[in-house]
Amino acid sequence: MEKGTMVGLAMAVVGVFVGAVLKGADVVMLFTNVPAILIVFVAGLGAAIMSHPFGETQNVGKYFSIAMKGIPEHNTQQTIDTIVDLTNRARAEGLLALEEAAKTIDDPFLKKGLQLAVDGTDHDALKKTLRAEITQMKERHKAGQAFFTNAGVFAPTFGIIGAVFGLMATMSHLDDPALIGHGITAAFVATFWGVFLANAIYLPFANKLKRFDVYEVAHMELVMEGIMAIQAGTSPRVVEEILSAHIPPSARVDKAA
Protein backbone atom coordinates (compact mmCIF):
# COMPACT_ATOMS: atom_id res chain seq x y z
CA MET A 1 0.00 0.00 0.00
CA GLU A 2 1.19 3.52 -0.80
CA LYS A 3 2.53 5.14 2.40
CA GLY A 4 0.39 8.25 2.22
CA THR A 5 -2.77 6.20 1.73
CA MET A 6 -1.83 3.78 4.51
CA VAL A 7 -1.05 6.49 7.07
CA GLY A 8 -3.93 8.76 6.12
CA LEU A 9 -6.55 6.00 6.03
CA ALA A 10 -5.35 4.59 9.36
CA MET A 11 -5.54 8.03 10.97
CA ALA A 12 -9.04 8.63 9.56
CA VAL A 13 -10.35 5.25 10.75
CA VAL A 14 -8.74 5.48 14.20
CA GLY A 15 -9.75 9.10 14.68
CA VAL A 16 -13.39 8.52 13.74
CA PHE A 17 -14.08 5.18 15.38
CA VAL A 18 -12.04 5.67 18.54
CA GLY A 19 -13.64 9.10 18.85
CA ALA A 20 -17.06 7.48 18.43
CA VAL A 21 -16.32 5.01 21.23
CA LEU A 22 -15.11 7.80 23.52
CA LYS A 23 -18.31 9.71 22.76
CA GLY A 24 -20.33 6.69 23.80
CA ALA A 25 -21.66 5.84 20.34
CA ASP A 26 -22.68 2.28 19.51
CA VAL A 27 -20.02 1.42 16.93
CA VAL A 28 -21.40 -2.08 16.43
CA MET A 29 -24.64 -0.58 15.12
CA LEU A 30 -22.70 1.14 12.34
CA PHE A 31 -21.69 -2.23 10.92
CA THR A 32 -24.90 -4.15 11.58
CA ASN A 33 -27.39 -1.71 10.06
CA VAL A 34 -27.66 -3.53 6.73
CA PRO A 35 -30.34 -1.28 5.16
CA ALA A 36 -28.20 1.83 5.74
CA ILE A 37 -25.13 0.14 4.29
CA LEU A 38 -27.08 -0.99 1.24
CA ILE A 39 -28.47 2.48 0.58
CA VAL A 40 -25.13 4.27 0.90
CA PHE A 41 -22.68 1.71 -0.49
CA VAL A 42 -24.71 0.07 -3.22
CA ALA A 43 -27.03 2.90 -4.31
CA GLY A 44 -24.29 5.52 -4.00
CA LEU A 45 -21.86 3.55 -6.13
CA GLY A 46 -24.70 2.81 -8.55
CA ALA A 47 -25.23 6.53 -9.06
CA ALA A 48 -21.49 7.02 -9.63
CA ILE A 49 -21.45 4.19 -12.16
CA MET A 50 -24.46 5.69 -13.93
CA SER A 51 -22.50 8.94 -14.31
CA HIS A 52 -19.93 7.28 -16.60
CA PRO A 53 -19.95 5.22 -19.79
CA PHE A 54 -19.96 1.55 -18.83
CA GLY A 55 -16.53 1.01 -20.39
CA GLU A 56 -15.00 3.41 -17.87
CA THR A 57 -16.73 1.82 -14.89
CA GLN A 58 -15.16 -1.53 -15.74
CA ASN A 59 -11.87 -0.02 -14.59
CA VAL A 60 -13.14 0.92 -11.11
CA GLY A 61 -11.09 -1.87 -9.54
CA LYS A 62 -8.00 -0.57 -11.30
CA TYR A 63 -8.63 2.99 -10.09
CA PHE A 64 -9.07 1.72 -6.54
CA SER A 65 -5.89 -0.35 -6.76
CA ILE A 66 -3.84 2.61 -8.01
CA ALA A 67 -5.14 4.84 -5.21
CA MET A 68 -4.26 2.18 -2.64
CA LYS A 69 -0.95 0.91 -4.01
CA GLY A 70 0.37 4.04 -5.73
CA ILE A 71 2.28 4.24 -9.01
CA PRO A 72 5.86 3.24 -9.84
CA GLU A 73 8.16 6.03 -8.71
CA HIS A 74 10.31 7.60 -11.39
CA ASN A 75 13.87 8.45 -10.41
CA THR A 76 14.14 11.83 -12.10
CA GLN A 77 17.89 12.08 -11.73
CA GLN A 78 18.35 8.60 -13.19
CA THR A 79 16.10 9.50 -16.12
CA ILE A 80 18.14 12.64 -16.78
CA ASP A 81 21.39 10.68 -16.62
CA THR A 82 19.99 8.14 -19.12
CA ILE A 83 18.95 10.89 -21.54
CA VAL A 84 22.32 12.63 -21.23
CA ASP A 85 24.10 9.34 -21.97
CA LEU A 86 21.90 8.86 -25.02
CA THR A 87 22.67 12.43 -26.11
CA ASN A 88 26.40 11.76 -25.86
CA ARG A 89 26.06 8.61 -27.91
CA ALA A 90 23.89 10.30 -30.55
CA ARG A 91 26.43 13.14 -30.88
CA ALA A 92 29.31 10.72 -31.23
CA GLU A 93 27.76 7.97 -33.36
CA GLY A 94 24.57 9.45 -34.83
CA LEU A 95 20.89 8.84 -34.09
CA LEU A 96 20.91 5.39 -35.67
CA ALA A 97 23.24 4.23 -32.92
CA LEU A 98 20.35 4.63 -30.45
CA GLU A 99 18.28 1.92 -32.10
CA GLU A 100 19.90 -0.84 -30.05
CA ALA A 101 19.93 1.31 -26.92
CA ALA A 102 16.16 1.84 -27.22
CA LYS A 103 15.56 -1.91 -26.92
CA THR A 104 17.11 -1.98 -23.44
CA ILE A 105 15.03 0.89 -22.02
CA ASP A 106 12.16 -0.04 -19.69
CA ASP A 107 10.30 3.28 -19.83
CA PRO A 108 7.74 2.76 -22.66
CA PHE A 109 7.35 6.50 -23.36
CA LEU A 110 11.10 7.07 -23.64
CA LYS A 111 11.47 3.95 -25.78
CA LYS A 112 8.72 5.02 -28.16
CA GLY A 113 10.14 8.53 -28.49
CA LEU A 114 13.61 7.23 -29.24
CA GLN A 115 12.33 4.80 -31.85
CA LEU A 116 10.41 7.58 -33.58
CA ALA A 117 13.48 9.82 -33.51
CA VAL A 118 15.69 7.04 -34.88
CA ASP A 119 13.16 6.38 -37.64
CA GLY A 120 13.69 9.94 -38.86
CA THR A 121 10.31 11.35 -37.80
CA ASP A 122 9.95 15.03 -38.56
CA HIS A 123 10.67 17.29 -35.57
CA ASP A 124 7.17 18.78 -35.44
CA ALA A 125 5.48 15.43 -36.07
CA LEU A 126 7.52 13.83 -33.29
CA LYS A 127 6.58 16.56 -30.84
CA LYS A 128 2.88 16.31 -31.77
CA THR A 129 2.95 12.54 -31.37
CA LEU A 130 4.53 12.67 -27.93
CA ARG A 131 2.24 15.50 -26.87
CA ALA A 132 -0.76 13.45 -28.01
CA GLU A 133 0.44 10.54 -25.84
CA ILE A 134 0.53 12.83 -22.81
CA THR A 135 -2.89 14.28 -23.58
CA GLN A 136 -4.49 10.86 -23.99
CA MET A 137 -2.95 9.65 -20.74
CA LYS A 138 -4.40 12.66 -18.92
CA GLU A 139 -7.85 11.90 -20.35
CA ARG A 140 -7.64 8.29 -19.17
CA HIS A 141 -6.64 9.45 -15.70
CA LYS A 142 -9.54 11.91 -15.55
CA ALA A 143 -11.99 9.00 -15.70
CA GLY A 144 -10.74 7.58 -12.40
CA GLN A 145 -10.57 11.00 -10.76
CA ALA A 146 -14.12 11.82 -11.85
CA PHE A 147 -15.49 8.47 -10.65
CA PHE A 148 -14.29 8.94 -7.09
CA THR A 149 -15.30 12.60 -7.10
CA ASN A 150 -18.81 11.64 -8.17
CA ALA A 151 -18.97 8.86 -5.59
CA GLY A 152 -17.94 11.42 -2.96
CA VAL A 153 -20.72 13.75 -4.05
CA PHE A 154 -23.44 11.08 -4.10
CA ALA A 155 -22.57 9.24 -0.87
CA PRO A 156 -23.74 11.96 1.57
CA THR A 157 -26.94 12.44 -0.43
CA PHE A 158 -27.81 8.76 -0.20
CA GLY A 159 -26.91 8.96 3.47
CA ILE A 160 -29.66 11.56 3.85
CA ILE A 161 -32.06 9.31 1.94
CA GLY A 162 -31.23 6.49 4.36
CA ALA A 163 -31.86 8.81 7.30
CA VAL A 164 -35.23 9.82 5.87
CA PHE A 165 -36.29 6.19 5.55
CA GLY A 166 -35.11 5.53 9.09
CA LEU A 167 -37.10 8.47 10.48
CA MET A 168 -40.16 7.38 8.50
CA ALA A 169 -39.92 3.95 10.11
CA THR A 170 -39.45 5.56 13.53
CA MET A 171 -42.50 7.76 13.10
CA SER A 172 -44.62 4.66 12.62
CA HIS A 173 -43.77 3.62 16.19
CA LEU A 174 -44.68 6.81 18.03
CA ASP A 175 -47.01 4.77 20.22
CA ASP A 176 -43.97 2.94 21.61
CA PRO A 177 -41.57 5.50 23.18
CA ALA A 178 -38.99 2.79 23.88
CA LEU A 179 -38.38 2.35 20.15
CA ILE A 180 -38.16 6.02 19.26
CA GLY A 181 -34.65 6.65 20.62
CA HIS A 182 -33.27 3.49 19.03
CA GLY A 183 -34.99 4.28 15.74
CA ILE A 184 -33.59 7.80 15.54
CA THR A 185 -30.09 6.51 16.29
CA ALA A 186 -30.38 3.90 13.57
CA ALA A 187 -31.70 6.51 11.13
CA PHE A 188 -28.50 8.52 11.31
CA VAL A 189 -26.25 5.52 10.62
CA ALA A 190 -26.76 6.01 6.87
CA THR A 191 -25.88 9.69 7.21
CA PHE A 192 -22.68 8.73 9.00
CA TRP A 193 -21.62 6.26 6.32
CA GLY A 194 -22.38 8.70 3.54
CA VAL A 195 -20.29 11.48 5.07
CA PHE A 196 -17.51 9.12 6.18
CA LEU A 197 -17.12 7.41 2.81
CA ALA A 198 -17.13 10.72 0.96
CA ASN A 199 -14.54 12.43 3.15
CA ALA A 200 -12.35 9.51 4.23
CA ILE A 201 -12.33 7.39 1.07
CA TYR A 202 -13.83 8.73 -2.15
CA LEU A 203 -12.71 12.35 -2.25
CA PRO A 204 -9.20 11.62 -0.87
CA PHE A 205 -8.83 8.92 -3.52
CA ALA A 206 -9.88 11.39 -6.23
CA ASN A 207 -7.27 13.86 -4.97
CA LYS A 208 -4.64 11.11 -4.81
CA LEU A 209 -5.26 10.17 -8.44
CA LYS A 210 -4.98 13.83 -9.43
CA ARG A 211 -1.56 14.06 -7.76
CA PHE A 212 -0.40 10.85 -9.44
CA ASP A 213 -1.46 12.35 -12.77
CA VAL A 214 0.67 15.43 -12.07
CA TYR A 215 3.71 13.22 -11.37
CA GLU A 216 3.20 11.15 -14.52
CA VAL A 217 2.73 14.21 -16.72
CA ALA A 218 5.85 15.87 -15.25
CA HIS A 219 7.89 12.75 -15.98
CA MET A 220 6.62 12.52 -19.55
CA GLU A 221 7.23 16.22 -20.14
CA LEU A 222 10.84 15.75 -19.02
CA VAL A 223 11.28 12.75 -21.31
CA MET A 224 9.75 14.62 -24.24
CA GLU A 225 12.12 17.56 -23.75
CA GLY A 226 15.04 15.15 -23.66
CA ILE A 227 13.99 13.32 -26.83
CA MET A 228 13.49 16.59 -28.71
CA ALA A 229 16.94 17.75 -27.58
CA ILE A 230 18.52 14.46 -28.72
CA GLN A 231 16.92 14.77 -32.13
CA ALA A 232 18.04 18.40 -32.41
CA GLY A 233 21.66 17.45 -31.62
CA THR A 234 21.79 19.67 -28.53
CA SER A 235 24.97 19.60 -26.44
CA PRO A 236 24.80 17.01 -23.62
CA ARG A 237 25.79 19.67 -21.08
CA VAL A 238 22.96 21.92 -22.23
CA VAL A 239 20.52 19.00 -22.16
CA GLU A 240 21.50 18.24 -18.59
CA GLU A 241 21.06 21.85 -17.54
CA ILE A 242 17.64 22.06 -19.18
CA LEU A 243 16.36 18.82 -17.68
CA SER A 244 17.79 19.54 -14.24
CA ALA A 245 15.19 22.30 -13.93
CA HIS A 246 12.71 19.48 -13.21
CA ILE A 247 14.55 18.71 -9.97
CA PRO A 248 14.38 20.95 -6.86
CA PRO A 249 17.74 22.73 -6.34
CA SER A 250 18.25 20.97 -3.00
CA ALA A 251 17.97 17.55 -4.66
CA ARG A 252 20.24 18.15 -7.63
CA VAL A 253 23.46 16.20 -7.91
CA ASP A 254 26.60 18.32 -8.08
CA LYS A 255 28.58 16.54 -10.79
CA ALA A 256 31.53 18.87 -10.25
CA ALA A 257 32.01 17.81 -6.65
User: What are the distances in angstroms from CA 35 to CA 39, 101, 197?
Assistant: 6, 60, 16
Over residues 167-179, the pLDDT tens digits come to 887 777 667 666 6
Q: Which stretch of 42-46, 108-112, 119-123, 208-212 has the lowest confidence by average pLDDT? A: 119-123
Please tell me the least confidently modeled range out of 2-16, 162-176, 229-243: 162-176
Separation CA 163–CA 157 (nearest Å): 10
Which residues form the domain of 38?
1-257
- pLDDT tens column, 64-74: 999 999 888 88
List, for residues 130-159, the tens digit of each pLDDT value.
999 999 999 999 999 999 999 999 999 999
- For the whole model, what pTM was predicted? 0.85
Q: What is the pLDDT of residue 256?
A: 46
183-202: pLDDT as tens digits: 777 778 999 999 999 999 99
Domain count within the chain = 1
Angle between helices 123-171 and 108-118 (to 10 degrees): 150
